[in-house]
Amino acid sequence: MKIIKRNGAEATFDIEKIVLAITKANLACEEKVRMTPLQIQRIAQSVSISCEEMGRSPSVEEIQDLVEKAIMAHGAFEVAKQYITYRYTRSLLRQSNTTDGRILSLIECNNEEVKQENANKNPTVNAVQRDYMAGEVSKDITARILLPQEIVAAHEAGIIHFHDSDYYAQHMHNCDLVNLEDMLQNGTVISGTLIEKPHSFSTACNIATQIIAQVASNQYGGQSISLTHLAPFVQISRERIRKTVEKELAIYGVAPDEQSITKVVEQRLRDEVARGVQTIQYQVVTLMTTNGQAPFITVFMYLNEARNEQEKKDLAMIIEETLRQRYEGVKNEKGVWITPAFPKLIYVLEEDNIREGTPYWYLTRLAAQVTAKRMVPDYISEKKMLELKVDRNGQGHCYTCMGCRSFLTPYVDENGKPKYYGRFNQGVVTINLVDVALSSGRDAVKFWEIFDQRLELCHQALMCRHNRLKGTLSDAAPILWQYGALARLKKGEPIDKLLYGGYSTISLGYAGLYECVKYMTGHSHTDPDAKPFALQVMQHMNDACKSWKAQHNIDFSLYGTPLESTTYKFAKCLQNRFGMVPGITDKSYITNSYHVHVSEQIDAFTKLAFESEFQQLSPGGAISYVEVPNMQQNIDAVLEVMQFIYDNIMYAELNTKSDYCQECGFDGEIEIREDDGKLIWVCPQCGNTDQSKMNVARRTCGYIGTQYWNQGRTQEIKDRVLHL
């Protein structure tokens, strides 16, 4: 069995250290109140058993908590007092150098918690270490100076989660919907260099990747761009290529018919589109931003966003090439084609592509093939989105999320026109619904009282995020605030006007609805008797957001938190506060947002239909998924699920597996097995357990991860059942 030390490093569990610590406390007491060596041994053994029952690696603090409780359970209160005093004294000594210890362990690559914090960051790389080092300093300053201690205490106890505190010291925000159209059509500035409107599709793609990298380095969340903003440059390249072809023909005195000229032009144009798409694909995968990872970028593919029929056809050409290249994948260091994590792709299902016989059905079928092989694209239903995203003019709109799931609220500018590109999210604070339920002890009155107290705590924390951005000058991130990605403010101008009136959003996240409902009602929220309570909880959070919006003129919005690493943190905190509650806290993870529990037996269509009601109540962002086996030989079934998504739910995805073992060439599902109390990844063909010699891609919580996960998330992945 392994333990996690205070600096995040992993070590082997040693029962003798527990015996030694209790013995020291015992000897500090008067002889008449001391325990016997046998009692000490029994306490140590009971602590060992409790640690094993956790099913994960306990932290030193958790072990010491268990020791305290066990000593008191034996009635040795004087010994417990000495033990607690010793812990407190040591804690005071550590407070001055905890951050130093975590940074040093990080540099030496033995900080297990940080290693598995982000499934798309490699913690052995210098750039990632530098970002994590800065993050540790920011967390320390944030906890000691910048945040109210009530919020810090609630965050550390897992009552709420104050997201991205490693970036809070700087005046940075969460995620963006990049106005690529403005930047390409009207020019931009990158690193002090003026970038004018490009004169070809390939150049536009190259500039787009530079914009992506710059934006990623100036905020900490996801960003999205639309391929529609690249489509006008296809026509520019077509006209340029036609002139070139006509010149070449004139040189050789050849006069072919118009049809032949068009055929040559279109072939060369397709070649250029392929090169441009490849630039985006490979640049995004190989670029490393200042936070030490590839840009977290989502590429939006929406045919009805085109402004005329020719642009729509050109957009379809770009989408087709994007899908074909993603189907192929990228080569790993062994030269084998594998599934990349980014860019994340979103394909919009709409009336002219959803059924066989519609003009763009061929793209939808290709998308289904890519999904079966590479897990992307994800799917937005234009039909459902137009129903749900309605602005104050009564108009429905279809647009992309900002990264993996964070959606903007509908917005109409001062001219009465809808606006989505160029907007952003200020930040997220998540409430732990499981803790609310357990704290109430199943008392319904107490539940709602505690719920309101916790929501108010989130409100205060969210206002801290907002106020941290307030007063930020546009000079802090020129690419965002001055050169078109989000705005065109003047130098030295504060960004404050973009923080109010709905231009940007700020998100109340939530986690563990399933466990919350099960504890309070005794049933899963899929049970007809429990579902009304689940919907009531969701509505209560929406009502809170509405109240805060009226109070501050800020668009608070309810957000289904992805919980990548926080799922493990919340689970550990719940076990510390409430012990092992069967079916509630007995796993190393809690359920994402409103999702059906990963182990619950339910078919794909029932799951999507059920979750669609909860997705409507998560206007700030949410995504549903179905877990499927290898579907590459059953594309019709994939298409059936996609058509169901179109009619029933706004935003959903299909999860399959896409792994490769570099040791033996196995191309299938790498398995998760338990070894000495720890979950490890194992090749079923050769038994390889070296993570550096296998490529594993899994949907983490709305996006694909490829750098492995903490023990909580790994257990969640292991527990997933198939829905199809």
SS3 for 88-115, per residue?
A: HHHHHHHCCCHHHHHHHHHHCCCEHHHH
Phi, psi of 390 (to 5 degrees): -110, 130
Which single residue is written with the structure tokens 């990872």? 293
* pLDDT beyond 90 at 292: no
Type of residue found at 641? V
- pLDDT at site 91: 66
Nearest to residue 515, comparing CAs of 438, 588, 579, 573? Answer: 438
pLDDT at residue 677 is higher than 90: no
Helix (H) or strand (E) holding 538: helix 531-552
Give residue 619's pLDDT: 97
- Residues 477-505 have a mean pLDDT of 97
Residue 332 has pLDDT above 60, yes or no: yes
What is the model's pLDDT at position 682? 96
**Structure confidence by residue, pLDDT tens digits, 526-573:** 999 999 999 999 999 999 999 999 999 999 999 999 887 888 899 999
Question: In which band, very low, low, confident or very high, does the pLDDT at 284 lie, cut at 50, 70 and 90?
Answer: confident
402 in active site: yes
When pLDDT is cut at 50, 70 and 90, the band that residue 109 belongs to is low
Which one is predicted more confidently, 288 or 65? 65
Judged by average pLDDT, the poorest of 597-606, 619-628, 659-668 is 659-668
Full 3-state SS string of 403-437: CCCECCCCCECCCCCECCCCEEEEEEEEEEHHHHH
Q: How far apart are CA 720 and CA 705, in angstroms?
A: 16
Angle of CA points 516, 517, 523, to nearest 5° = 130
Given 702, 703, 710, 716, the catalytic residue: 702
| Annotation says 174 is catalytic | yes
User: How far apart, in whole angstroms, are the C-alpha atoms of residue 473 and residue 171?
Assistant: 9
Evaluate if pTM is beyond 0.75. Answer: yes
DSSP label at residue 59: B
Q: What is the mean pLDDT of the chain?
A: 91
Section 92-97 average pLDDT: 53
702 noted as active-site residue = yes
The verdict on whether 179 is a catalytic residue reads: no
Q: Determine how many CB atoms are found less than 10 A away from the CB of residue 258.
A: 7
From the candidates 406, 565, 658, 710, give the one annotated as an active-site residue: 406
Cβ(385)–Cβ(398) below 8 Å: yes
Tell me which of 54, 172, 404, 520 is the catalytic residue. 404
57, 111, 174, 624: which is the annotated catalytic residue?
174
pLDDT (average), residues 360-374: 97
Is 703 catalytic? The answer is no
Tokens of 700: 């983490």
**Res 239 pLDDT > 90:** yes
Residues 697-717 pLDDT 10s: 888 776 777 777 888 888 999
DSSP letter assigned to residue 653: E
Band of residue 650 on the pLDDT scale cut at 50, 70, 90:
very high
72: closest CA among 64, 48, 438, 61? 64
Q: Cβ distance 499 to 466 under 8 Å?
A: yes
8 A C-beta contact, residue 349 and residue 638: no
Residue whose C-alpha is closest to residue 289's, from 66, 76, 98, 118: 118
Distance (Å, whole) CA 626 – CA 628 = 6
Residue 120 reports pLDDT greater than 80: no
Residue 706 has a pLDDT of: 75
| Average pLDDT over every residue of 287-299 | 72
pLDDT beyond 90 at 160: yes
Q: Given 411, 510, 514, 559, which residue is catalytic?
A: 559
Task: Let me know how long the chain is.
Answer: 724
Element (H, E) at 511: strand 505-511
Of the residues 183, 385, 402, 631, only one is catalytic, namely 402
The answer, yes or no, to whether residue 52 has pLDDT greater than 80, is: yes
The DSSP bridge partners found for residue 3 are 11
Q: Mean pLDDT, to the nearest integer, of 74-98?
A: 73
Q: Is residue 48 annotated as part of the catalytic site, yes or no? A: no
- The CA–CA distances, whole Å, from 22 to 48, 57, 75, 411 equal 14, 21, 14, 62
- Please state the rounded mean pLDDT for residues 172-189: 97
Q: What is the arithmetic mean of pLDDT over 612-625?
A: 96
C-alpha R_g of the chain:
27
Q: Return the amino acid letter for 552.
A: H
Sign of the alpha-carbon dihedral angle for 450, 452, 453, 455: positive
- Determine which of 26-35, 52-61, 71-80, 486-495 has the lowest per-residue pLDDT on average: 52-61
Q: State residue 289's pLDDT score.
A: 56
Q: Which percentage of the chain shows pLDDT scores above 90?
A: 69
pLDDT tier, 9 (very low <50, low <70, confident <90, very high otherwise) = confident
CA 637 to chain centre: 27
pLDDT at residue 86 tops 90: no
Instruction: Please say whether the beta carbons of 397 and 420 come within 8 A.
Output: yes
318 and 277 Cβ atoms separated by less than 8 Å: yes
Average pLDDT of span 51-62: 84
Residues 388-444: pLDDT tens digits? Answer: 999 999 999 999 999 888 999 999 999 999 999 999 999 999 999 999 999 999 999
Contact 303, 319 (CB under 8 A): yes
CA dihedral 192, 194, 200, 201 (to 10 degrees): 40
Gap between the terminal Cα atoms of the chain? 36
Helices 309-328 and 258-286, axial angle in degrees (round to 10)? 50
> Would you kindly state where each structural domain of the chain is located, as residue ranges?
2-153, 175-378
Give me the pLDDT at residue 126, please.
60
What is the pLDDT at residue 140? 82
Structure confidence at residue 77 as a pLDDT band (50, 70, 90): confident
- In this prediction, residue 290 carries a pLDDT of 52
Q: Are 330 and 697 in contact (CB under 8 A)?
A: no
Select which of 78, 564, 611, 653 is catalytic.
564
pLDDT at 103: 54
Query: Taking residues 105-129, what's their average pLDDT?
Result: 55
Q: Which of 7, 138, 425, 624 is catalytic?
A: 425
Clarify whether 650 is annotated catalytic: no
